[in-house]
Chain A
Amino acid sequence: MLRFVLNKLALIVPTLIGITICAFGFVRLLPGDPILALAGEHGVTPERYEILKHQFGFDQPIWMQYFGYIGGILRGDFGTSIETHRPVIQEFLTLFPATIELSLCAIIFAIVLGIPVGIFAATRRGTVIDQGLMGTALVGYSMPIFWWGLLLIIFFSGLLHWTPVSGRIDVRYFFKPVTGLMLIDSLISGQKGAFQSVLSHLILPTIVLGTIPLAVIARQTRSAMLEVMGEDYVRTARAKGLRRVRVVGVHALRNALIPVVTTIGLQIGTLLAGAILTETIFAWPGIGKWLVDAIFKRDYVVVQSSLLLVALVVMGVNLVVDVLYAVINPRIRVQ
């Protein structure tokens, strides 16, 4: 097992280096002068320019600049936001929990609904129910989620006034972040109505972000179940006279879940990309909105670092998924 993990880590190293080169190169590829872009200034005097040039290390050879950049990252120094003058890593750590909370809720929503729907469709294979469910899943899979979010806002916030339009919590409530996850923090704070407020703010973004993963998981579960139900051990279980619920729920499902787990792991990138759109629509203060805002404010230090940090998060999660996968499926370890 340890060898498996080490092998995986070794495979990641070239990609890791590549990611840092991308983030490093990004600023240097920007249209215009990279030094002025990084400083967020224009029309500076030649003296000021020299100072900036030195400050960002542009007077050094390019490979020294790169190693300087890597050294900074290893010390946790990702630069300072042009807009807020705060360290980028600090902003990232404040905003990231919001994205984690939203993504976790979305993936839980997708799993809790998607797996039963997939199983149900598989057991009713070929019927109108199956076709209806899978048709709906394909609609969900084809959904432009930025439009889906607007539709839900029009209907649930505009017409019915059931849910708030944007944000994470009503302005009436305030409490110190403990975990950064508002659902938990609001409970800890013990304020009346705070938890309900958080929940009502979360519902629409969760549905919007969870729609595509939900469709993918439902489709994958159905096809994995259909494949497994044709296997000998399922036929044996059925021949033994076990009840249908037990055959489907225990014998078939346990084996069908292996590809489904991989699918769920592969959704992490989709979730983070979806978070960019979802957070923009609902003014959700996470890293997706942070990135889009930074692009429009030309805060290139933030864009550069979020590119790097998001890629690192995706790689980290993929590594964990790979290892988990090897834990539930011993055949993988041997390969």
Chain B
Amino acid sequence: MADTTTEIAPIVSTKRFSGIREFWHYFAQSRGAVLGLIIFVLLIVVALIAPLIAPHDPNEQFKPLFLLPPSWAPGGDPRFLLGTDPVGRDVLSRLIYGSQFSLLIGAIVVALSVAGGITLGLIAGYFRGWADVVIMRLMDLILAFPPLLLALVLVTVLGPGLINAMLAIALTLQPYFARLVRAAVMAEKNREYVISARLAGAGHFRLMLITILPNCLAPLIVQATLCFSDAILAAAALGFLGLGAQPPTPEWGTMLANAREFIQRAPWVVTFPGLCILVTVLAINLIGDGLRDALDPKLKRS
């Protein structure tokens, strides 16, 4: 850890690509991070070409073939590599289509919470005063609730479903970004380059978005990566509780919920969706660790 953290001072490269190359140099020092990145890229590919590689339609029911074991187990059918679920659908095909949902959930939730967090954090940190007080007290309020509890209650109000679950999760994750951006903006605001930009006549918007924001990006990227995995986990948890994506959506958490009663009879219908969640979240967390070491030596692993 420490050997990767010494030199990477604020990147003062004049050329854009040398910065990227320098970043890659530090990122690639962590084998775990590279492994995570490879898995993540594979997942994206699987999600993109899902209709091409899935052996069956994810919602097609092969009527008498309920709860078939995986093809290598006794009683398995080579047509269904990972077996079939309680209503006779191909587990593998559902898992492949499920990757689309998980990645989409992560991306949308992160986009929503980053956008909200940056806006609120910039306003709070730049203008201070009452806007700061109001915004940060609101953030404290959101953080006072355990995230899953708040998401559950929000979904109760909004109604179960994937979109509402994503909105609820984005709301619970958003304060972390607001706090981060506010702290970074306050640290940068009185630096010389900002003052000189202001003297040169830059308006509030230009100062906030073009002068200050790019210099707060490193911790934001790390936090966004961690939130990506948090979002996938939280959405799967809501799906598992029956309040996220609704059947027959092949979302991994929802698949687990439907398979729960069969855990003794057919452990495989429970094993594979959970394994997919774990591998996805693990890959993203590995990337997050690597990014943290490469981008922001001041942040330590926790």
Chain A interface residues toward B at CB < 8 A = 14-15, 18-19, 22, 26, 29-31, 135, 138-139, 141-144, 146-148, 150-151, 153-154, 158, 216, 219-220, 222-223, 226-227, 263, 269-270, 272-274, 276-277, 280, 291-292, 295-296, 300, 303, 307, 310-311, 314-315
**Inter-chain contact A153/B153, CB cutoff 8 Å:** no
Contacts of B152 in A (CB 8 A): 276, 291-292, 295
**Inter-chain contact A142/B137, CB cutoff 8 Å:** no
B248 lies within 8 A of chain A by Cβ: no
| A148 CA to B2 CA, complexed, in Å | 33
| A288 CA to B253 CA, complexed, in Å | 19
B256 lies within 8 A of chain A by Cβ: yes
Contacts of B271 in A (CB 8 A): 151, 154
Contacts of A31 in B (CB 8 A): 157, 159
Task: Please report which residues of chain B, range 127-158, place their CB below 8 angstroms from some CB of chain A when the two chains form the complex.
Answer: 137-138, 140-141, 144-149, 152-153, 156-157
Tell me which of B140, B264, B302 has the highest count of chain A C-beta atoms within 10 A of its own C-beta: B302
Contacts of B145 in A (CB 8 A): 19, 22, 269, 307, 310-311, 314
Q: How far is the CB of B246 from chain A (nearest CB, A)?
A: 14
Chain B contact residues, majority secondary structure: helix
**Inter-chain contact B241/A147, CB cutoff 8 Å:** no
B286 lies within 8 A of chain A by Cβ: yes
Give the residue of A26, A216, A314 whose beta carbon is less than 8 angstroms from that of B146: A314
**Inter-chain contact B157/A158, CB cutoff 8 Å:** no
B257's closest neighbor in chain A, by CB? Answer: A146
Give the residue of A147, A280, A315 whose beta carbon is less than 8 angstroms from that of B278: A147
| A138 CA to B302 CA, complexed, in Å | 11
Contacts of A19 in B (CB 8 A): 141, 144-145
**Inter-chain contact A276/B149, CB cutoff 8 Å:** yes
Sample (15) of A-B pairs whose CB atoms are under 8 Å apart: A138-B285, A144-B240, A146-B237, A147-B256, A147-B273, A148-B274, A150-B260, A150-B274, A154-B263, A158-B264, A273-B148, A276-B148, A303-B153, A307-B145, A314-B145
**Inter-chain contact B240/A277, CB cutoff 8 Å:** yes
Give the residue of A154, A227, A263, A280 whose beta carbon is less than 8 angstroms from that of B241: A280
B168 lies within 8 A of chain A by Cβ: no
B16 lies within 8 A of chain A by Cβ: no
Q: How far is the CB of B128 from chain A (nearest CB, A)?
A: 17
A148's closest neighbor in chain B, by CB? Answer: B274
| A183 CA to B237 CA, complexed, in Å | 29
A216's closest neighbor in chain B, by CB? Answer: B302
| A141 CA to B243 CA, complexed, in Å | 23
Give the residue of A142, A146, A269, A300 whose beta carbon is less than 8 angstroms from that of B240: A146
| A296 CA to B286 CA, complexed, in Å | 36
**Inter-chain contact B153/A223, CB cutoff 8 Å:** no
Give the residue of B156, B159, B274, B282 whose beta carbon is less than 8 angstroms from that of A303: B156
Tell me which of B152, B260, B277 has the highest count of chain A C-beta atoms within 10 A of its own C-beta: B152
Contacts of A144 in B (CB 8 A): 233, 236-237, 240, 253, 274, 277-278, 281
**Inter-chain contact B141/A272, CB cutoff 8 Å:** no
Q: How far is the CB of B236 from chain A (nearest CB, A)?
A: 6
**Inter-chain contact B289/A18, CB cutoff 8 Å:** no
B51 lies within 8 A of chain A by Cβ: no
**Inter-chain contact A158/B267, CB cutoff 8 Å:** yes
B100 lies within 8 A of chain A by Cβ: no
**Inter-chain contact A263/B302, CB cutoff 8 Å:** yes
| A303 CA to B270 CA, complexed, in Å | 29
**Inter-chain contact A150/B270, CB cutoff 8 Å:** yes
Given A18-B141, A144-B240, A273-B146, output 7 extra A-B contacts at Cβ < 8 Å. Answer: A18-B138, A22-B141, A30-B157, A144-B281, A292-B241, A311-B145, A314-B144
Contacts of B236 in A (CB 8 A): 144, 146
Contacts of A303 in B (CB 8 A): 153, 156
A270's closest neighbor in chain B, by CB? Answer: B146
B116 lies within 8 A of chain A by Cβ: no
Contacts of B86 in A (CB 8 A): none
**Inter-chain contact B153/A307, CB cutoff 8 Å:** yes
A296's closest neighbor in chain B, by CB? Answer: B242
| A148 CA to B233 CA, complexed, in Å | 13
**Inter-chain contact A158/B263, CB cutoff 8 Å:** yes
Known contacts being A150-B274, A269-B146, A314-B145, is A141 close to B263, with CB within 8 Å?
Answer: no
Contacts of A295 in B (CB 8 A): 152, 156, 243
Known contacts being A138-B285, A270-B146, A310-B145, is A154 close to B267, with CB within 8 Å?
Answer: yes
| A29 CA to B300 CA, complexed, in Å | 42
| A86 CA to B212 CA, complexed, in Å | 56
**Inter-chain contact B300/A227, CB cutoff 8 Å:** yes
Known contacts being A153-B263, A158-B264, A292-B241, is A315 close to B156, with CB within 8 Å?
Answer: no
A222's closest neighbor in chain B, by CB? Answer: B301
**Inter-chain contact A138/B256, CB cutoff 8 Å:** no
**Inter-chain contact B241/A15, CB cutoff 8 Å:** no
Q: How far is the CB of B173 from chain A (nearest CB, A)?
A: 13
| A14 CA to B260 CA, complexed, in Å | 42
B161 lies within 8 A of chain A by Cβ: no
Task: Please report which residues of chain B, range 247-287, place their CB below 8 angstroms from some CB of chain A when the two chains form the complex.
Answer: 253, 256, 260, 263-264, 267, 270-271, 273-275, 277-278, 281-282, 285-286
Contacts of A153 in B (CB 8 A): 263
